[in-house]
Structure 1
Amino acid sequence: MITSQTFLLIGLPGSRFRSREERLIRFKSMYGISPEVASDLWYMCDFRRGTKPKHLLWGLLQLNVYASEHVLTTITGVDRKTFRKWSWACIESIWNSLPDVVKLADRFKAGPYGSKRRTCLMTVDGTDFPIAEPQPFDKKWFCQKTRHAGVRYEVAVCIQTGEIVHVNGPFACGRWPDLKIYRSFLKQMLQPGEMVEADDGYPDLTVRMASHHVSHQDTRARSRARARHEATNKLFKQWGCLRQSFRHPLYKHKYCFGAVVVCTQLSMRREGVPFHVVY
């Protein structure tokens, strides 16, 4: 039986910290999630044969620390080939579980502050992550926000529950603005009459726009919903693989982002969403 205590012992072997609270802080600083969430991942994901709990921790270490292989292999005490094999295998296994964790239909779940009869069920926004400059140079990767090459993902958060219900990407920042990404897929998946909450970068009829005739309370609720979405995006960028310039082959970025989304979603289910919204 692989429990959270098992992951705590494997992740911090021979720890000199006697306080459990201190060990939990150290564990989350190293691996990005709590031992309880690591245990949830172990039983939820379909890992390849031969995978051990320590291999899952190697993958989380790759995602969260994202240091050079020399540093990571020094920490884990294995050679580069072994670390590379098992860490990326676990990251891809976590990414494969993304459809089971993030479902667009979850926006219909009635939370404590509303019901599915609401016209506007989710907030939508794009979030950008830096990557190493592709060669040869191509301006399609240029991101106006970071002034650097980057990729963009679309993320939707359920207003009622605060959970992530949709992700889409990656897209080249310079070629795919937020509105173009939204119209390419998510807009077509909306129910008749359904709208989304977004910022001014989405001038579309299916996006709830600001109005001079709404009450102060309504304006405050909408701002709070968008603020929670930004707080969710910030959770992604606490992981080293998304905060730093991505150095690995670009096709692996979606594996890292998807794995981070799964870990973030499971952490919110365990620890709660950033804050609740009365909408």
Structure 2
Amino acid sequence: MVNLPQTRNDTFNRRWKSSFGAPPEVCCELWNKIDPYKTMPAGVDPKHILWALLFLTVYDTEHNSAQRLGNVDEKTYRKWSELFVIAISYLECEVIVWDNRFLGDSGNKALVTLDGTDMPVEMKFAKEFMSHKFKGNGLKYEVGVCIATGHIVWVHGPSRAGESDITLARQAFVSFLNDNEMAVADSGYRGEFRSIKTPDKVHFRSGLEFYDAAVARARHETVNSRFKNNQVLVKRFRHSLAFHSACFRAVAVISQLIIENGEPLFDVQYSDEGRKV
């Protein structure tokens, strides 16, 4: 187990989070969930998880990051930061739980908001990877957020950024919905009338429900913004595409733990026609 520093103040917390992307409580929780002394190679040290968090938050060159850490050997920095990024990503099944969409369930038909987000990657031009959101090559991921709690309950991808959001949703998300269950999403998800409520009056009983769904979608954008506080998802990714998936999932895990540990999303009031039994 790793315990928090005994003496901390707002300045300490702010500087810590600017470097590592998460408050000290979340860093300790990550370490304890991974249990590195049992799961990592010999020589593991608590500082190594901070290297991984620095990697995700700043995404600088290995040379600059190693210098920032006090002339750490670049190969050593790369080894431990990558090991811990992967270890954090493996916590996805424990932290981001699809069944948690039922927490706070009031019987609504729509339990989650769904949205796709594109992330830039460094690669040769390929039309199928071209994102219309930033006019460059990228990967597309899908995130689902529980309407009642604001918790992240679904992560899927990557797919090629040139694919539509609805194409990605059809790969897995739609089949994971129960009978008579739907999601709320933007107009990019039109085409699955029975599964996804998009911003058209056909899907909503009243102007109030239409408005509440819009607020829920707007709140979802704050999740995307929190993800992009991590420069690894903003700068053009220079590592392998497989490792990008680990980085995205690690950021999702960290973001969910931050939500659970004192930085929740704003509340949303939403009520629809309800699920039929």
What's the TM-score, normalizing by structure 1? 0.90
User: Identity percentage over the alignment?
Assistant: 37
| Equivalent of 1:229 in 190, 197, 220 | 220
Distance 2:224 2:182 in 1: 21
**Partner SS state of residue 229, structure 2:** coil
What letter corresponds to residue 273 of structure 1 in structure 2?
P
In structure 2, distance between residues paired with 1:272 and 1:81: 35
Deviation digits for residues 30-83 of structure 1, max 9, x if unmatched?
A: 000000100110111243133211000000011101111111000112111110
Equivalent residues in 2 for 1:130-169 (5 A)? 130-132=120-122, 134-135=123-124, 137-169=125-157
Q: Distance in 1 between matches of 2:155 and 2:75?
A: 32
Alpha-carbon separation, structure 1, partners of 2:55 and 2:63: 12
Q: Does 1:238 align with 2:199?
A: no
CA distance in 2, matches of 1:104, 1:46: 24
Aligned to 1:65: 58
Report the secondary structure of 1:156's partner residue: strand
Aligned to 2:99, which of 95, 105, 109? 105
Q: Secondary structure at the match of 2:22?
A: coil
Which runs of no fewer than 5 residues in structure 1 stay unpaired?
9-18
Q: Distance in 1 between matches of 2:146 and 2:41?
A: 35
Picking from 55, 73, 97, the partner of 2:48 is 55
The match for 2:22 is 33
Structure 1: distance between partners of 2:196 and 2:241: 31
TM-score w.r.t. length of structure 2: 0.90
Query: How much does 1:236 deviate?
Result: 0.4
Match of 1:194 in 2: 181
For the 8 Å contact 2:66–2:77, the answer to whether it is kept is yes
Q: Does 1:3 align with 2:3?
A: yes
RMSD in angstroms over aligned alpha carbons?
1.5
Supply the distance in 2 between the matched residues of 1:150 and 1:97 (Cα, whole angstroms): 24
> Take 1:191 and 1:21, find their aligned partners in 2: how far apart are those partners?
45
- Indicate if the aligned counterparts of 1:131 and 1:150 stay in contact, CA closer than 8 A: yes
Please list every run of 5 or more consecutive structure 2 residues that lacks an aligned counterpart in the other structure.
271-277
TM-superposed deviation, 1:200: 1.1
Q: Distance in 1 between matches of 2:62 and 2:263?
A: 33
Aligned match of 1:43: 32
Which one of 254, 265, 268 corresponds to residue 256 of structure 2? 265
2: distance between equivalents of 1:201 and 1:257? 22
Moved over 6 A (4+): none
Q: How many residues align?
A: 261
CA distance in 1, matches of 2:98, 2:142: 13
Moved more, 208-217 or 65-74: 208-217
Deviations 1:96-135 (A, max 9, x none): 111111111111111xxx52x2111001110011111x23
